[in-house]
Amino acid sequence: MNKKIKICQVITQTHFGGAQKYICDISNNLDDNFDITICYGEGNEQELKKYITNTQIKFHKFKFLKRNINLIFDKFALWELFFYFKKNKFDVIHCHSSKAGFIASISGKLAGVKKVIYTAHGWIFKENLGFSKKIIYTFLEKFGAKFKDKIICVSQNDYDLAINKKIIKKGKLELVYNGFQPMTEFFETNEARKFLFQKMNIPDNGQKIIGTISNLYKNKGIEYLIEAAKILNEKRDNLVFIVIGSGPEEKRLKLLLKKLQVKNFYFLGQINSANQYLKAFEIFTLTSIKEGLPYTLIEALFARIGIVCSDLESLSEIIINRQNGLVFEPKNTTKLVYAIESILNNPEFTEKIKNNSNLTLSKFDFDNFISKIKENYIL
């Protein structure tokens, strides 16, 4: 390359989750042929900067780009992004999240950007929405796709949905699994337990830790873990439940915890590099009702711990039922309890699924992921 390719990564908010990790992984691992700017709406760039190792990365905050729909703000955001793209003459805009994907792609094309790419981190119309909203969001994805040169899907399920719903022409659609770099510094079980029990501020009396690492959004289904904890605590006295993460549902979930009088359940808030403590978990749970391709589930496989997750089509590309984990019917607390007990009551079965943790990991090769993203950036 004779000159650097100017890339603008656009995301709605900086609150760290899968899409934000995706951006940081790309930005940290592209070579010097790329000039990268990360643009965001809500939040603080420090939430991303602590995960950025490439000191050449630039940041820019958009004043009007908000997560929630607001027609006034959204109109201003469209033009704010347009003038920023026009002024900076980016070669490629890479959008993340439905809101940024819609607004930034339109602004980018109007500003004459050569290539607009959108990674769909789980289609919004897969969410637990009413029929009319699903129709509206599907239409908006189709309309926004007219301004995109490429849509990247992170799971086969999302790719198939895009084809079935005719979101975009097949030639402009690509499946690229999230890349994952294996953690080489998982804390050993005793050290990880010590840290988490200090966070809970209770003594470690050999309790089994069940829980998750998750942003607290409605689609994460944390209420089903709370309901399961209520039932399991009535049967056993050696369990503690933890949720590492924060988000807009935190207040509601804590009120539910209080209403149900659930004991031994702890919200630990945000913990930097929380995945380092996964070996403390007896069982990692993912109770979502909608997902793209979550990094935390892949991290749990690398940690070689018991896994229970919702039976969602996208998650079946990570977890093979009764092989490297157990799945349960989404929103079904009774079946969630049964799955957790199946692991607690069967040490030999638990050892089997731990030993099979590498069954699906090869598809998440990190070098292949970066290589495919780089190919899409080259003009």
**144, 264: one domain:** no
Place of tokens 């509601």: 252
Contacts for 99 with CB less than 8 Å, ≥ 6 apart? 12, 65, 66, 67, 69
pTM: 0.85
**68, 216: one domain:** no
Bridge partners for 152 per DSSP: 119, 174
Quick one: the chain helix, strand, coil %, rounded to 5? 45, 20, 35
Examine residue 159 and state whether it is found in any structural domain, yes or no.
Answer: yes
pLDDT of residue 184: 56
Examine residue 181 and state whether it is found in any structural domain, yes or no.
Answer: no
CATH number for 292: 3.40.50.2000
Q: One digit per residue, pLDDT tens: the chain, 379 residues?
A: 568 999 999 999 998 888 999 999 999 999 999 999 999 999 999 999 988 999 899 999 999 999 888 889 999 999 999 999 999 999 999 999 889 999 999 999 999 999 999 999 988 888 777 888 889 989 999 999 999 999 999 999 999 999 999 999 999 999 999 998 865 579 999 999 999 999 999 999 999 999 999 999 999 999 999 999 999 999 999 999 999 999 999 999 999 999 999 999 999 999 988 999 999 999 999 999 988 889 899 999 999 999 999 999 889 999 999 999 999 999 999 999 999 999 999 999 999 999 998 899 888 999 999 999 999 999 7
Alpha-carbon span 345 to 348, nearest angstrom: 9
Place of tokens 């809500």: 42
**58, 169: one domain:** yes
Examine residue 95 and state whether it is found in any structural domain, yes or no.
Answer: yes
Examine residue 214 and state whether it is found in any structural domain, yes or no.
Answer: yes
Q: Which domain holds residue 34?
A: 5-176
**264, 290: one domain:** yes
**319, 239: one domain:** yes
Q: What is the DSSP letter of 286?
A: E
Number of domains in the chain: 2
* CA of residue 70 relative to chain centroid, distance: 24
Domain end residue (candidates: 176, 202, 230): 176
**142, 30: one domain:** yes
Examine residue 375 and state whether it is found in any structural domain, yes or no.
Answer: no
Examine residue 373 and state whether it is found in any structural domain, yes or no.
Answer: no
Q: Output the six-digit token pair for 111.
A: 């500003």
Helix or strand holding residue 180 (H, E): none
Examine residue 241 and state whether it is found in any structural domain, yes or no.
Answer: yes
**165, 209: one domain:** no
